Amino acid sequence: MRSTRLVLLEGHVNRARWNVGVAMLLLLSLILVAGRADAGTAAACEGGGFSLVLPGGTVSGSQKDTIPAGALGESFLVKGKYVEFEVGSATFGIRNYTLTGAPNPLDITGGRRTTIFAGKTPDHRGLTLTDDLVLELKDADIVIERTGPGLSMKIQAKDCAQGGIFQMEPARGDGTVTDITHTLATDPSDPTMTVFYFNNPNFQPGNFPPLPLCPAGGPFTPECYPVPVRPRINFANDFSAKFVGRDSPQVAARLNQFGGLSTWRVASGGRMGMVLGEDAVEVAPPATTCVANCQAQDRVRGKFPVLGFPFPVPTASRVTPQFP
C-alpha cells in the first residue's frame, strides 16, 4: 500500500499538470484571438492611405510635414480609399464624413457611398486656429494638429472600412470644456440612406449575467465576458444590414440626444471618437480616462462578445424626435 504522503504528492502533481494544461490552452486561445484581430484589422485597412487635398495641390505619401497657414484655405479635404471628410481650417470642424464604399472584405456599406455625419462641429466660443498645420501620414493613418491663441485641436483618423477610425481632441488654454455637436447625414432623395441614432435592444441589462463567470484572461463568450452589458446607443441606416456605429467619448459627457443629432461636452484634452462595424456592437469596457496623447486605434476584434443589432431597426427603438 502506498503511503498517504505519496498519494497526496501525486495528486498535487496531477493538479499542477492539469493547471499547466489549462493555462496553455488559455494562452493558445488568446494567441488565436490576437491573430484573428491582427488579420481583421489588416483586412479592414488593406490598401488604405490618406491624401491631404489643399487649394494649391495634394499632399500624399508617408511623411511628417508642416503646412503653412496660408496654404490651407477655408477648408481642405482628407481623402482616402475608404474614408473622406472635409476639415474647416479655423475650427477643425468636420463636414461630410463619408465611407466611400470601396470593395473590402469587411465593408459595412453594401458597396455604396455612405455619408455618416453631415458635421462634427466644435464650439470654440470665439477662439480660432491660426498657426501652421502639423501633418503626419503613415500607412492608413493621418494625424493633423493646429493651434491658435488659447486653443489647439488634433484629429486622428484611419483609412479603414470599419473599426475605431476617428477621434477629435480639443484643448483650451483656460482648461475649460468644448461642446461638440454631431449631426448625422440625411438624404431626402433616398430615405434608406438617412442615418439615425437608436437604442440597441440587444444591449439590455440582464441579457447575460452581470458579473464575469470565466477564468482570468478568457476565452470570452456570451456566457463569460469581462464587463457587464449596459444600454447602448448606436447609429445605423435602412440600407445596409452591416452598417452600424457609435460615438465613443473619452472624458466627455452627452448633453443631449436626438434621432439625428447629439451634443457632447468634452474636457480639455479629452476626445470624441467614433467606432464602426463589429466593434460598435461588442460588449466592451468604456474608454479609459485620458487627457494627453490619447490614441485612435482599433480595439482587439473578437475579444468581447458581439451582440449585433436588429435590421431593420424597429421603429420603437429609434430615438425621437430626429432633431430638436
CATH architecture of 43-317: Distorted Sandwich (2.70)
Provide the CA 237 distance to its chain's centre, in angstroms.
18
Is residue 296 a contact partner of residue 160, using CB atoms and an 8 Å limit? no
Bond from prior residue into 310 cis (ω within 30 degrees of 0): no
Q: Domain ranges in the chain?
A: 43-317
Give, as one character, the DSSP assignment of residue 39. H
Give, as one character, the DSSP assignment of residue 257. E
Q: Which residues have a Cβ under 8 Å from the Cβ of 148 and sit 6 or more positions away?
A: 90, 127, 128, 129, 130, 131
Question: What is the Cα–Cα distance from 259 to 322, expressed in whole angstroms?
Answer: 4
Predicted TM-score (pTM) of this structure:
0.81
Question: What is the Cα–Cα distance from 174 to 131, expressed in whole angstroms?
Answer: 18
Per-residue pLDDT for the chain (324 aa), expressed as one digit of tens each? 344 333 333 333 343 343 333 233 333 333 333 333 444 568 999 999 999 999 999 999 999 999 999 999 999 999 999 999 999 999 999 999 999 999 999 999 999 999 999 999 999 999 999 999 999 999 999 999 999 999 999 999 999 999 999 999 999 999 999 999 999 999 999 999 999 999 999 998 766 555 555 665 566 666 666 677 889 999 999 999 999 999 999 999 999 999 999 999 999 999 999 999 999 998 876 655 555 555 544 333 345 778 999 999 999 999 999 999
